Amino acid sequence: MKTQRQVLNAIHRLIEFIARLIYMFIAFLKGPAESQPPIKDLILLHSATTLAFKIRNRQLMSEEIVQSYIDRIKEIQPVLNCMVEDRFEDALKEAKICDELLKSQNAPSPQVLAEKKPFFGVPFTTKDCIGVANMKQTAGLTVRKNIVSKCDAEVIRLMRDAGAIPLATTNVSELAMWWETSNCLYGTTKNPYNTRHIVGGSSGGEGCIQAAAGSPLGIGSDIGGSIRIPSYFNGIFGHKPSTGIVSNDGQYPSAQSEDQKRLLAIGPMCRYAQDLSPILKILADKNADILRLNEKVDISKLKFYYMEDDGGQLLTSPVELEIKEAMRKVIRYLEKAYKVKVTKLNIRKLKKSTALWMANMSCKDEKDFTYELSNRNGHINLWWEFLKWTMFMSNHTLIALLTATFERFAVKHGSDQHTKLIQESRELYREFQDILGEDGVFLFPTHPTAAPLHHEPLVKAFNFSYTAIINVLGLPATACPLGLNKQGLPIGIQIVGGLHQDRLTIAVAEELERGFGGWVPPVIVA
């Protein structure tokens, strides 16, 4: 059995190598990589919390800030294709109302605004899957191209209540079920550090617009890594909250089972770690008290654990040496700065990450991916769609059709194998909880490689398992950037905590931002 695994992995490495040569040649034929425009407006370099402070203290006007971000989006959109729909006019009107209120005799004090509306006048963006009233909610599915959300998703309502202003929606993979952001409606989003490379998915447009300074904060959703993978590929911070903390109401596609509900989480994406906790506090609403976000975290009192890889999962790329070295630098930094001991773990069940995630994703009652691709109106005919795709007539991406095909051979809901994998998922959760408790933090690669070339994920399909297994566990995880690799692409790690210990992972991310610099901005000419 071990020999078979070694042979399969060797074949997979060879396929990856050949495919990369092909994709590099295709990229060469398409011409040189483009660069995102330089930053000319220093307003774009402020954190969201700083912008909110400056607005309520009348140091900056909301309308001025919104206009700065509109101008930036117009600069980057032709190069990166991260946005799908804007509400620029409405956002400017709402910003003007904020400014007029602050000029009035009845203007609330900065203290009141900080408490009641902590993001007063600050613009934000969100992925297309999360409903914004009177805006399209396509989820990258062609048949949904004219579907308009009648009301805000719960998280958008909460952000509005906190004073924030929706600015635009951003691109996603088809039905938010792949880790490259591309669909037949809006096309492919490109990495701001090198347009030959991907932005991740499914919140790839959001990760891209944040990294390119097109928005001060964003909202994403994560069922298998859809916040953390784009955050990692684009060099920003992203947080997947503990399961059940943030409402998923208004997200499409919605979860079809209790297991899927536990996997799915909506959370913040931003350039500065200091923004994570204030945004999460708003999104968590009445559940914020469970997270104790206002409690200070003493890094020196935490227990640290790590793994440099998943132990050698089948058909998964090996973790790149630069990522392992970045992990080691983090460990040395923590040991030196806080005199903590960072313990290496060997959790064997992580080798089954993909299988465990797929078991938790499986649905009964034939609500499979062909059902989702039909917009939950029957089932598409897979073979007919494949035929149409070969003639450039299908409304679906190749990877969506391949995903639906692969699902037919996956573990069936209710089978003995499914029951066994669900049981193993629970055992793994208990193992992690026993290790982490209320004061433990686990450092783990977000992904085994930096952002691949466009379409390269087709031969690296299961690399998402590094994030997906954390969804299975329902634990909080923060994607933390650690600079750029030798190719100029972002790399980093994810920081995982025990259930409801989100404040620990965010606190460690804030510390690593101080130690390693966090988001790397484009050229600044302001």
Stated length of the chain: 526
User: Is 127 noted as a catalytic residue in this protein?
Assistant: yes
CA-closest candidate to residue 138, choices 105, 188, 172, 180: 172
User: Is 286 noted as a catalytic residue in this protein?
Assistant: no
CA-closest candidate to residue 41, choices 210, 211, 214: 214
Torsion angle of C-alpha atoms 21, 23, 29, 33, degrees rounded to 10: -110
- For residue 392, what are its two tokens? 């450039």
Ramachandran category for residue 423: left, alpha or beta (phi over 0 → left; psi -120 to 50 → alpha): alpha
**What is the distance, to the nearest Å, from the Cα of residue 203 to the centroid of all Cα atoms in its chain?**
5
Alpha-carbon gap, residue 303 to 444, rounded angstroms: 14
- For residue 429, what are its two tokens? 């959760």
Catalytic residue among 221, 226, 317, 362: 226
Catalytic residue among 202, 317, 353, 425: 202
Helices (H), 366-501: 369-373, 382-390, 398-407, 416-436, 465-473
The one-letter amino acid code at 324 reads K
Alpha-carbon gap, residue 225 to 240, rounded angstroms: 8
Residues 353, 310 contacting (CB under 8 angstroms): yes
- For residue 78, what are its two tokens? 């032709």
Catalytic residue among 127, 136, 281, 352: 127
* Active centre residues (catalytic): 127, 202, 226
